[in-house]
Structure 1
Amino acid sequence: MELVKVTEENIDEEHICCAISSNKDCQVVSKKEWLKKRFKEGLVFLKGNVRGKCFIEYVPSENAWCPIEAKGYMFIDCLWVSGRFKGKGYSNELLNACISDSREKGKLGLVILSAKKKIPYISDPKYLKYKKFQLADTSEPFYELFYLPFSQNAPKPCFMKHIKVPSIKEQGFVLYYSNQCPFTAKYVPIIEKVASEKKIAFKSIRFESTKEARMSPAPFTIYSLFYNGEFVTNEILSDKTFEKMISKVID
């Protein structure tokens, strides 16, 4: 498989895999605008020369949109191979390209966000362990930080202390999110509308910078929903799933 590096020069023409639609679609627009701002921070987006979900996105950990301490490492935002591309070794090919690039740039290793078990939108811990990633740190209720050091004496990354137990002080529903994932551009307005129609206390906060994201109250800065101060879910909700959640947590 040929790998294509998406850059500021070719991004308007390239398909970005995770949002299969036209360039005018809100999901594509939001993701590409987010990427354009991140390229100057060292972000790399590599994709297979296919039309589908087959890509890896990574960035120097100092610029990662994740509340971690991992100086000198490379942080993997997302490694996604799905559908008919599974089982062909493409995940390994993408990861190996990231490892090679990170070594050439003098990085200490790789870091990635995962969980105790496979859950939506977060890297599969089973695959990471298979690829020799090690557990570095944990955060409630289920988050795990994995790392792949390039040397035995490489320091162990960790979560920032303020997210060891995700919580906030505000009441009602509070959603923290970013346009790092294209699907938030579509689904956040949908649940905002549901909350408004049902007259439910709801507030959405979008991260606009690396600094803001690193101060997130939860590890997953793409989407973290709280209710009355407690973490509820990282799953990007549709109107139906949000309505079910409203019934569950309020009733």
Structure 2
Amino acid sequence: MRSKPKSEGYHQKLSWLLERFQEGLQLKTIEEDGVPKGFIEYIPSEYNWRGISGANYMIIHCLWIVGKGKGKGYGSALLKACLNDAKLQNKSGVAMVTSSETWLSDKSFFMKYGFRSVDTAPPCFELIVNSFDNHPVPHFNHGWEQRAEKHGQGITIIRSDQCPYFEDAVNSILEVAADRGLPAQIIRIENCKDAQLAPSAYGVFNVLLDGRLITYHPLNKRELNKLLDTYSG
């Protein structure tokens, strides 16, 4: 919605969406006077792009409302649309990865709509579910550190095309790595199974330093340099 239509990240996201629609992904937007104010993206659990496993659930990837659109009930409308869709498809419930820090939604909003916490993952993730029946709930694919340790020295970026902002973030990380004389490599996540077994519960974007996760979300150069100073110190 805020990404630039001519940017590489925009076209990467578009191609990613076209492939995911074949797997049951839904992308719903809400508009005000013809202007998009928010969206929700969700997909059957078997094809989810988070670090979780589960069957017969709907997994919310993203629920986002533009700043000025908040407080108008748009988030509630989108969430209810997802819950209703899941019931129509005879799913056992809806689940989502939340975060107490940044980039992902906080769980507090969802708790008002029947969600509950069922699992946690470092550094700040919770898996929340709204169950419709007694079917086993999804769970995190633990083993984050072991998967991260498999990668070598320097910076490793493990990324997908799920978000249009990843491309610019990757370019910034590579520039910082070059400035600091750090070796850097990019590993692309090409399918949902690779995302489910990523080094973080977020799945689709992971930045490692010497085999250790340092961030799961895009950072600007100043933020990344500060973070690297912390780890090197």
- CA displacement 1:123-155 (0-9 Å, x = unmatched): 11111222221111111222111110012x232
Residue among 42, 50, 61 paired with 1:58: 42
Query: Does residue 163 of structure 2 align to residue 181 of structure 1?
Result: yes
For residues 1-251 of structure 1, the aligned pairs below 5 Å read 17-19=1-3, 21=4, 23-50=5-32, 51-115=35-99, 117=100, 119-151=101-133, 153-163=134-144, 167-169=148-150, 170-251=152-233
Q: What are the ranges of 5 or more consecutive residues in structure 1 without an aligned counterpart?
A: 1-16
- In structure 1, C-alpha distance between the alignment counterparts of 2:224 and 2:37, rounded to whole Å: 26
Counterpart of 1:49 in 2: which secondary structure? strand
- Aligned partner of 1:141: which letter? P
The alignment-based identity, stated in percent, is 31
Tell me by how many angstroms 1:84 deviates.
Answer: 1.3
Residues 93-129 of structure 1 deviation map (CA, whole Å, 9 limit, x = unaligned): 00111111111111000010013x2x22111111122
RMSD between aligned residues: 1.8
* Partners of 1:206 and 1:53 in 2: CA distance: 30
Higher-RCO chain (CA-CA 8 Å, sequence separation at least 6): 2
| Matched AA of 1:204 | I
The 3-state SS of whatever aligns with 2:149 is coil
Q: Distance in 2 between matches of 1:157 and 1:106?
A: 16
- In structure 2, stretches of 5+ residues that fail to align are none
TM-score norm. by structure 1 comes to 0.85
Question: Tell me, what secondary structure is at the counterpart of 1:92?
Answer: helix
TM-superposed CA distance for 1:57, in Å, is 0.2
Q: 1:48 Cα deviation (Å)?
A: 1.1
Structure 1 pair 92/224, CA: closer, same or farther in 2 (3 Å)? same
Aligned length: 230
Q: Distance in 1 between matches of 2:205 and 2:170?
A: 9
Deviations 1:159-203 (A, max 9, x none): 123338763232222222211111001121121122123211222
| Distance in 2 of aligned mates of 1:129 and 1:101 | 19
CA distance in 1, matches of 2:51, 2:229: 31
